[in-house]
Amino acid sequence: QVRPLEGELEFRNVSFNYPRSEKPILDNISFKVSQGEKLAIMGATGSGKSTLLNLIPRIFEASSGEILVSGMEVREWPLKDLRDSIGLVPQQSILFTGSILENLSWGAPSVTTSDTEVHIDELEEAAKKAQIHESIDSFPQKYATRVGQKGVNLSGGQKQRLSIARALVRKPSILILDDSTSALDVKTETALWDALEGENATMLVVTQKIQTAKGADKILLLDEGIVVGYGTHQDL
Ligand code: ATP
């Protein structure tokens, strides 16, 4: 199994500007998440949450400061190893026209379409953890069901869970959920967090829900690119 990096993550005085932005979008951000810990990130819209997450797999490069994964600066890691170790579920689920199986195995280093018999188990396991297996199983064509044009219409919550399952298939050391549970009801979300407990992945979770943040080891509060709170739910 591809898992080159362990999940410890540290931001040291990280700042970031988009090319034409006047003031920093992220200003001197520092925090640390130990292997297996869960960090909730909260803040108003536009406070910089998505931007911060995108710096980790180097979709954008920090303007200054250091981002360490497993104790080494992200710029030092081979990009492939870094990205193979990170499962980033974006705010808008990206599904393409094709089967659920293809959507789930997309980008997974260990899943090959020629060998789906063997790996369907892994896809199912990920789908179960992401609380989407039952929905898939209820479709007449199950994992062969097509999504997108002429396919089934998935609900917002089903799309989110499918995107989470896709990230889990790759067994990431760091799982990043950018507001990926906003459309889930409380019961489903609770079941999801329970299932993810066993993953031993470090998790960064952007959320608007205080209940979700309470379940994290620590909370990072952002306001206009500045950390205005950092600690356990009780500290804050
Ligand atoms: P939301 O909760 O609405 O997703 P957020 O906290 O994730 O917001 P970001 O998406 O990180 O916030 O945006 C932070 C700031 O950066 C905003 O002012 C936004 O307008 C700006 N921004 C985002 N993407 C770009 C870009 N590609 N170029 C320039 N500015 C951008």
Residues 164 and 184 in one domain: no
Residues 1 and 52 in one domain: yes
Question: Which residue lies with its CA nearest to atom 28 of ligand 1?
Answer: 18
Tens-place pLDDT, residues 70-98? 999 999 999 999 998 999 999 888 888 88
Task: Calculate how far, in angstroms, residue 225's C-alpha sits from the geometric centre of ligand 1.
Answer: 10
Residue pair 174/204 in contact (Cβ under 8 Å)? The answer is: yes
Give the pLDDT band (50/70/90) at residue 4. Answer: low
What local confidence, expressed as pLDDT, does residue 122 receive? 87
Residue pair 169/163 in contact (Cβ under 8 Å)? The answer is: no
Task: Calculate how far, in angstroms, residue 86's C-alpha sits from the geometric centre of ligand 1.
Answer: 21
- How far apart (Å, rounded) are the C-alpha atoms in residues 59 and 147? 27
113 or 129, higher pLDDT:
129
- Min mean pLDDT across 41-45, 115-119, 124-128, 165-169 is at 115-119
Residues 106 and 77 in one domain: no
- The total of structural domains in the chain comes to 2
* DSSP codes joined into one string, 47-112: SSHHHHHHHTTTSS--SEEEEEETTEETTTS-HHHHHHTEEEE-SS----SEEHHHHHHTT-TT--
Q: What is the mean pLDDT of residues 55-84?
A: 95
Give me the interface pTM, i.e. the ipTM. 0.95
Task: Calculate how far, in angstroms, residue 207's C-alpha sits from the geometric centre of ligand 1.
Answer: 15
Is the sign of the CA dihedral 97, 89, 55, 195 positive or negative? negative
What is the domain range of residue 67?
1-85+173-236
- How far apart (Å, rounded) are the C-alpha atoms in residues 78 and 82? 6
Of 137, 155, 171, which residue is a domain's last? 171
Residues 121 and 183 in one domain: no
Task: Calculate how far, in angstroms, residue 49's C-alpha sits from the geometric centre of ligand 1.
Answer: 8
Task: Calculate how far, in angstroms, residue 91's C-alpha sits from the geometric centre of ligand 1.
Answer: 12
Question: Which residue lies with its CA nearest to atom 29 of ligand 1?
Answer: 18
Does pLDDT of 2 surpass 80? no
- How far apart (Å, rounded) are the C-alpha atoms in residues 192 and 211? 14
The binding-site residues of ligand 1, defined as CB within 6 angstroms of any ligand atom, are 18, 21, 25, 43, 45-51, 91
CATH code (residue 127) = 3.40.50.300
Residues 60 and 114 in one domain: no
Residues 14 and 80 in one domain: yes
Of 155, 171, 187, which residue is a domain's last? 171
Tell me the whole-structure pTM to 2 decimals. Answer: 0.91
User: Residue 234 phi/psi, 5° resolution?
Assistant: -70, -35
What local confidence, expressed as pLDDT, does residue 15 receive? 97
Alpha-carbon separation of residue 71 from 1, 34, 53, 104, 217 (angstroms): 21, 11, 18, 31, 20
What local confidence, expressed as pLDDT, does residue 117 receive? 45
Tens-place pLDDT, residues 185-217? 999 999 999 999 888 899 999 999 999 999 999
Residues 177 and 80 in one domain: yes
Q: What percent of the chain has pLDDT over 90?
A: 72
Residues 42 and 71 in one domain: yes
- How far apart (Å, rounded) are the C-alpha atoms in residues 170 and 213? 25
Ligand 1 mutation target, pool 14, 26, 49, 60, most atoms within 8 A of CB: 49
Tens-place pLDDT, residues 23-44? 899 999 999 999 999 999 999 9
- Min mean pLDDT across 17-26, 109-118, 125-134 is at 109-118
Residues 81 and 23 in one domain: yes
Residue pair 37/205 in contact (Cβ under 8 Å)? The answer is: no
